Amino acid sequence: MTSRRALGVGPWVPTLCAYSKQEGYEPRDEDSIEAEVQGRLNDKLRDRTSEAEVSKQKQGDCSLIPKFHKPKAQPKTAAALVSKEARLRFLQLRHEMLMDNNELENLWFVLREYASAGEDETSERIDYDRFCQISVKCAELFGEKSLPFFTPSTFLKFRRDELGCISILPLFHYIMRKVSMQQTRIYLSYHDSVGDGYLRESDLDAYITQMLPSLPPLVELESNMVPQYKRIAIRKLMFFNDPHRRNRVSITDLLVSPQLAEFLELRQEMSPEGEAALSGNWFSLSNARRVYSMFLELDEDMDGMLTKEELALFGGGGLTKFFLEILFEEHIEVWNSRKKPSAGGRRRAAKNTRMDFPAFLEFVLAWENRKHEHSLAYFFRIFDRRKQGFLTSHDLFIFFRYVHERWVEGGNYELNVDDVKDELWDMIKPEDPLKVTLKDLVACKMGDTVISILTDITGFWAYDSREMLMQEKEEETEE
């Protein structure tokens, strides 16, 4: 059994010892204290077992029904505090069982020591016998930390040559990735305030706050920009990893998500290219400034909120008024209901016709990633005004009609709306010839084009002029 000394003691121990000495209590050794604790614990377990047996006899056949719900401990109660302390100590022990950077560096030297000679590091190889010898050597150097990486199943993960040998470089990279992923999981779990394997927005806020000082590309982040940066980072992690909009993300899903990997790219030292190397990274400082500046430019009255008229200027002002109306009805009112649940437990849509910064971030993420399944779901909820779970040709006609009005107002040639509607239907190729589902929109691989045509006059113009634009691009390439 792990002793209290192994788990560490808190600052209250010296105070308790001083009080015991003052009250005349004789000091006791750790073994006797541990024995008393175990004795009292066993007594409690026996009492609970006997109570369960009596309850089972009283309930009769009802005891056969398994208990499927266990209420969570209320915050700041003894049960909640004990559970949190136990979880933190468990995570601390798991962290101590991971290999640190020095040990990983020594592991690489061990691998090269046992590997067959090659022209370079990429050609150094080991067979299974050497693999087992390395396992024994690492156990002597690092203890049990290295044992999970030297199992038969690990060896079989890698491509073997005709002699049954594997390259040591992929093996070492595999071990480094596993250690890094385990470290990240532990760090994320530290911020799980409820202890259910999910992170809320406040948990992600705490995690990002802790990570900021260790991210070299963000050293120039101004203090007054920090709150906005955290909102920008949190929204991407939530938008793509909370598909059911429950205001929480699974640590397991987040751990393997490309969004977290994109954020953790900032841990690398700045390259000679500087910010240019992170130009496509949502979490980069330049992108955070771009998005926040975009919001400030749209917010003409500087009240920190966007009206439909202000958002209409987004992306050059091509969005139709009808699309913006439905956007605000579907997402802004729902957004406010997610933040402000009613007293009866059900959430009512707040009659607020303004978009705040986090809601604007969700819209920008959906618009700039229109190929992504979650972005398509975001827009599908707008198109599905009757909440039937599918779209008809009439739904497509209604949305494109307003794009057509803008098209005619711009002095363009007259076009047949039904022809465009048929083009969209052929583009999607739904399983059911009478309705389009979200699954169809995702499967057609052209959902981003469909969204642009139905909502944005600029997007429709780009689609209508696609052949001319491709020809101009080819001419520029030839020059």
What's the rounded Cα separation, in Å, for the pair 117 and 315? 59
Question: Scanning the structure block, which residue is given the tokens 């982040």?
Answer: 221
Cα gap 362→239, rounded to integer Å: 7
Check whether residue 157 and residue 202 sit in a common domain. Answer: no
Q: Is the pTM of this model over 0.95?
A: no
119 with 181, same domain? yes
Q: Please identify, among 254, 274, 298, the residue that sits at the C-terminal boundary of a domain.
A: 298
From residue 417, alpha-carbon distances to 400, 421, 423, 430 in Å are 8, 6, 10, 20
183 in Cβ contact with 236 (< 8 Å)? no
Distance CA 375, CA 447 (A): 10
Q: Domain for residue 304, yes or no?
A: no
10-residue averages of pLDDT along the chain (479 residues): 46 74 75 84 80 62 66 77 87 91 92 80 85 93 90 92 90 93 93 90 94 90 93 95 90 94 87 69 93 94 91 92 92 62 41 82 95 94 92 91 89 84 90 92 93 92 78 60
Domain identity same for 121 and 50: no
- Alpha carbons 355 and 333: distance in angstroms, whole number: 9
What lies within 8 Å, CB to CB, of 344 at 6+ separation is none
Q: How far apart are CA 68 and CA 315, in angstroms?
A: 51
Alpha-carbon span 67 to 103, nearest angstrom: 46
User: Do 244 and 181 fall within a single domain?
Assistant: no
CATH code, 210:
1.10.238.220
Distance, in Å, from the CA atom of 296 to the CA atom of 300, rounded to the nearest integer, reads 8
In degrees and rounded to multiples of 5, residue 424 shows phi and psi of -65, -40
Residue 349: count of CB within 10 angstroms of its CB: 15
Establish if 156 belongs to a structural domain.
yes
Provide the greatest CA pair distance for the chain: 99
Assigned domain for 228 exists: yes
Is there a contact between 262 and 281 (Cβ–Cβ < 8 Å)? yes
Other beta carbons within 10 Å of 231: 20
Q: For residue 198, list its beta bridge partners.
A: 250
The per-residue pLDDT for 343 is 42
104 and 143 in a common domain: yes
- Cα 465 from Cα 142, distance rounded (Å): 64
Radius of gyration of the chain (CA): 30
Q: What is the pLDDT of residue 118?
A: 65
Both 165 and 224 in one domain: the answer is no
Same domain, 173 and 248: no
Domain of 120? 96-186
Alpha helices, H only, 97-162: 101-114, 128-142, 152-155
Give the whole-angstrom CA distance, residue 357 versus residue 349.
18
Last residue of a domain, one of 241, 264, 298: 298
- Phi and psi angles of residue 306, each rounded to the nearest 5 degrees, phi first: -115, 130
Query: Can you tell me the distance from the alpha carbon of 194 to that of 72, in angstroms, rounded to the nearest whole number?
Result: 9
pLDDT of residue 326: 93
Q: How far apart are CA 475 and CA 111, in angstroms?
A: 54
DSSP state letters, 401-433: HHHHHHHHHTTPPP--HHHHHHHHHHHH--SST
Question: At 158, which amino acid appears?
Answer: F
In order of 148, 177, 178, 296, the CA distances from 174 in angstroms are 12, 5, 6, 45
Beta strands in 33-121 (DSSP E): none
User: Is 375 a member of any domain?
Assistant: no
Distance of alpha carbon 321 from the chain centroid? 33
Give the burial class of 280: count Cβ atoms within 10 A of its Cβ; 0-12 exposed, 13-18 middle, 19 or more buried: exposed
Tell me how long the chain is.
479
Confirm whether 357 is domain-assigned. no
Statement to judge: residues 105 and 176 lie in one domain:
yes
In the chain, how many domains are there?
Answer: 3
173 in the same domain as 134: yes
Asked which of 165, 186, 207 is the last residue of a domain, the reply is 186
Alpha carbons 465 and 420: distance in angstroms, whole number: 14
Residue 312 covered by a domain: no
Contact status, residue 241 vs residue 252, Cβ threshold 8 Å: no
Looking at the structure, tell me whether residues 165 and 241 fall in a common domain: no
Quick check: is 175 in a domain?
yes
